[in-house]
Amino acid sequence: MTAMITIMFVVAIALVGFAAGVTRGRKERGSHEAARLVRGNSTGDAGAYRAGYLAGHLAGWRDAAAHEDPRTVPAAGAPAWLPRPSSPVQVSAVRAPSPVARPILPAQPVQPAVASSPHPSTQPAQQLPPEVLLAEQAARREKRDRQNINVTLYVASLLLVAAAALFIGSSLPAVLRFAGVWTITAVFYAGGFVLHAKAPRLKPAAVAFAGTGLALIPVTGLAMYNFALQDGPAAWLVTSAVGTAAYVVAAVRLDSRVLAFLSLSFLVSTAWSGVSMLGGALVWYFASLIGLAVLLTLANLARPRWLPPVYVKPLLVLHPFVVPFVALAATFVPRYLRPGEYTMLMAVSALYFGVMALPPRNTFRLQQFHAARAASTLAVMAGVNDSGAELAYVLLAGLVLLAAQSLGVAFGAQYLSRWFPAGNSVQPGRRWWTDGLLCFGLQLALTVVTAAVVLLNEAQLPVGMPLFLTLGAGLLLAWKLGKQGLLAEWLPVTALVVAVPFVHELGGWAAAALLAAGGAYWLLRAVWSGGPLRRVFVLAGRLGLTLAVPAVATGVLPDALDRSAWVLAAFVAAVTGQLLLEAGLIRAGIRTLAPRLSLAVFAGAGMAALPLVLLAERAPGHHLAATALVVHVLAAAAAGWILFPWAAGRVSSRPGALLAPASLAWGGVLSFAGVSLALGNTVLLVGLLYFAAQGLRPAGTPGRRGHWWAARGVATVLAGTGYLQLLGDGGGLVLAGEELSLAAVAFLALALQMIPSLVAAVRGHNRSLAAIDAAVVLPFMGAAAAVVSLSGRYASGPYLSGVTAESWQAGAAAIVMAASAVAAGYLLRREQFTAVFAPAALLLLLVLRGGHIHDVEILLGSSRRSAWPWCRRRRAGRRRDSTSSPPGSSRRPSPPSWRMTCRPPPPWCP
């Protein structure tokens, strides 16, 4: 396997060197040929000089014409010349016409260049003289011949190499085969140099001969291993040494960078063959490459006088890639390395990269700096692993190094910018900001892996250690890099989010410490910072401390029976406190971030957690849930009281106008449905006090009337639920020898609600609102009266036991209902729709009390009494209409108008 890896490395390096050399050689050959042809054209007789001069001017004119308009064509009567080919030294043209068919025109003087215009005109092409055409044809022929010769030489070289390989396997004696291969190699190699020096016109053949000799060197090494030196490492070493020397000499003599690159590949082979000769392990192959890279780097930096110029470019190109290649290769074959060897390779690589990043005029300095950091991290992790530590500790070592690097880059950005200047960059320190964020991103990923490894392998390392390390690094980076970009301010948040999947394994105290650290940091940042970010930091700190409260409860009650319920109750208490704090800040005029949204979030979080507390509590009575519910309801009522405007006419956005009503309604539903009737009545009592207090504010206060209506509604409901609780406890109210039923108490409470409407009607204030009030209360009174009347006939139960067929409660309810409807209809007769109060009540009560003659007489009497004002009003209107026209007038009296009453006349009025 070691030999296979070695062969693969040699082949890869050879291919890279060959490709680079071919590319560079092709470019150099084109430049040399162009220079040679230019020199050839510049010498000679005056005719050749003149022909080249005219050909150059013609080529320039054609280039200008092509740039101006490619569709330009020659004028009629002149021969059409084809454009120049892609070769920089050839000028192609169509064969000149025969002298017999058309005489040759004399040479025309060269015209000056015409300025470009949006619409260039077509210009006639000039005819080349015969000597120019002949020179061009000769150059084309020479180029074609040279190409044919080169192709033939390359094919012959390949055939010779193949023949040498076949010659080794022939049936000739071994000595003859060995000597023959070496002789042929030496003859071709030396013959190429001789031809190159003695016959300049045969330089292509000389290069082909020398190249054939160089290509035969590996074949001679194979022959030496088969026939002379049958020790593989020794034969490899001799072949590599001879090949290195031969390629170096050829590269210098022939001035070829291709051979220079190939000689470096033989230099690598020499280093590896030496390791193989000594019987070293795989690590020494990598070490020899690193040593070779160091030598190449020193040669590139020092550039001594004895270094041939042809090697300057190959050294500059290759030396930065040798050590990264070694480090990458060693990383992918760790199974073939002994303990400590990978650590040594990474340490040496890190040292090399660090040294290479120091010289100011060195290339790839920034990349070398990054490579040094990566190699040092891998070296330390490999060293910890070689010491026998668990995988969790190995990953923790990587976390420590990543944190150190991110912090070092963040706090040393000023010095790094001086050492690694950014050139013309607008923001030279921005790349170090990005570097710190990317490094922290790697730390986050490694933190998740480390925590998962700790849990899966049940390691002795506490799972909170990598999380605390990452959070600490995130806090410091946010403080340092936050001034350059807001993205850095999210680093602590990401660290806390990464810790969420491991909260259960962390425990209460560790989770509380993480959240408290984040909250305290953000509050401190709020103290140090200014502007809009201060409000953001304040809110973030409050959220962190709020979430830390249930974590503390988890740590305090590790084995409690209702641990989940207590944790949720602690969360309710925390968000309730934040709700009161937010209301106080708004009341004090302190600007906060999104006050309405904050109130809604804190109140909504508390209301959402209350049913969870109720479900999680397993103790009988649900005392914890009841306490949490009462605390939250009281806090919501207090926040609503604080936020509501005090002065009349004060302009206020009232961010908490719906806060207390929503909390009271939700608390009442949870209390009645899940806890007890007594708790529900307590919530209703709190709501009654809140709405009554809001309704007693000075006149003109926004929302005062709405709170007053809400207080009356809550009082009505509380009267019914309170009496229901009294009946459930075995009590009751006895009046006139009968126990009042629940429906009778509800009817009485509704009847009392008619008093404010009637008082407002008598005083004449807001009669339209009083009419609406009566229109809302009377239907509920009718429903309660119906329940009271029907309960004595068809219903029986614990809450209706006091109602019988002969009970006075139904009759009293009917009389009160009729009186209320008549009073409301009479006092509010000028308002719309009030005329239906008395008729509707009469119809309902006739249906309910039709079997009781005395009740019917009372109802009819009250209805007649209520209709009398309407009839008087109508007759008065008729008299006024009949006397409005003077005697003798031809105008007919107008019909009676009822617009003065703002409603049609009642149907029972005669």
Q: Please write the tens of the pLDDT for every residue from 799-827.
A: 555 555 566 777 777 778 778 787 877 78
Cβ neighbourhood burial of 901 (10 Å; 0-12, 13-18, 19+): middle
790 and 856 in a single domain? The answer is yes
Residue 339 lies in a domain: yes
The domain boundary residue, chosen from 711, 731, 751: 731
Cα(586)–Cα(442) distance, integer angstroms: 42
Residue 205 lies in a domain: no
415 and 440 in a single domain? The answer is yes
Amino acid occupying residue 745: V
Among 630, 612, 543, which Cα is nearest to 578's?
A: 543
Cβ contacts of residue 185 below 8 Å, gap of 6+? 164, 213, 216, 217, 219, 220
Structure tokens at 76: 């009629």
How distant, in Å, are the alpha carbons of 397, 546, 572, 580, 599 from that of 639? 51, 18, 15, 6, 9
Which DSSP helix (H) or strand (E) runs through 157? Answer: helix 130-168
Amino acid occupying residue 455: L
Residue 32 lies in a domain: no
Residue 318 lies in a domain: yes
The domain boundary residue, chosen from 343, 369, 388: 388
Residue 220 lies in a domain: no
Residue 749 lies in a domain: yes
565 and 707 in a single domain? The answer is yes
Cα dihedral sign, 882-884-886-890? negative
Task: Name the stretches of the chain with pLDDT < 50.
Answer: 1-17, 20, 22, 32, 34-35, 37-44, 69-125, 647-653, 795, 867-868, 870-910
426 and 383 in a single domain? The answer is no
Cα(420)–Cα(296) distance, integer angstroms: 23
Cα(323)–Cα(331) distance, integer angstroms: 12
- Per DSSP, the chain holds a count of helices (H) and strands (E) of 32, 2
Cβ contacts of residue 865 below 8 Å, gap of 6+? 822
DSSP labels, 440-497: HHHHHHHHHHHHHHHHHHT-SS-THHHHHHHHHHHHHHHHHHTTT-GGGGGHHHHHHH
663 and 687 in a single domain? The answer is yes
At 738, give phi and psi (nearest 5°): -125, 145
Residue 769 lies in a domain: yes
693 and 627 in a single domain? The answer is yes
Cβ neighbours, 10 Å, residue 86: 7
Cα(534)–Cα(439) distance, integer angstroms: 27
Domain count for the chain = 4
657 and 714 in a single domain? The answer is yes
Structure tokens at 706: 């709405």
Cα(59)–Cα(64) distance, integer angstroms: 9
Cα(48)–Cα(38) distance, integer angstroms: 12
Compute the C-alpha angle 188/189/190, nearest 5°.
95
673 and 570 in a single domain? The answer is yes
How distant, in Å, are the alpha carbons of 270, 367, 545 from that of 293? 13, 16, 56
What pLDDT score was predicted for residue 271? 67
What pLDDT score was predicted for residue 683? 92
Cβ contacts of residue 605 below 8 Å, gap of 6+? 571, 575
Residues 814-825, buried b or exposed e (16+ Cβ, 10 A)? bbbbbbbbbbbb
351 and 487 in a single domain? The answer is no
266-306 per-position pLDDT tens digit? 767 766 666 666 555 555 666 766 776 677 666 666 666 66
Cα(69)–Cα(571) distance, integer angstroms: 80
3-state secondary structure of 734: strand
Among 189, 91, 172, which Cα is nearest to 131's?
A: 91
How distant, in Å, are the alpha carbons of 246, 314, 353, 355 from that of 297? 22, 11, 11, 10
Cα(844)–Cα(783) distance, integer angstroms: 10
570 and 717 in a single domain? The answer is yes
Cα(908)–Cα(910) distance, integer angstroms: 6
Cα(499)–Cα(377) distance, integer angstroms: 24
What pLDDT score was predicted for residue 674? 84
CB 449 within 8 A of CB 483: no
Helix ranges (H only) for 740-896 are 742-752, 754-763, 767-794, 808-827, 837-848, 853-882
Cα(547)–Cα(844) distance, integer angstroms: 58
607 and 706 in a single domain? The answer is yes
How distant, in Å, are the alpha carbons of 573, 726, 875 from that of 672? 21, 15, 56
712 and 609 in a single domain? The answer is yes
3-state secondary structure of 244: helix
Residue 443 lies in a domain: yes
375-382 long-range Cβ contacts below 8 angstroms, 24+ apart? 375/327, 375/346, 375/347, 375/349, 375/350, 376/346, 376/347, 376/350, 376/401, 377/401, 377/402, 377/405, 378/331, 378/346, 379/343, 379/346, 379/347, 379/349, 379/350, 382/342, 382/343, 382/346
Q: Which structural domain range is residue 717 located in?
A: 560-731
The domain boundary residue, chosen from 501, 518, 550: 501
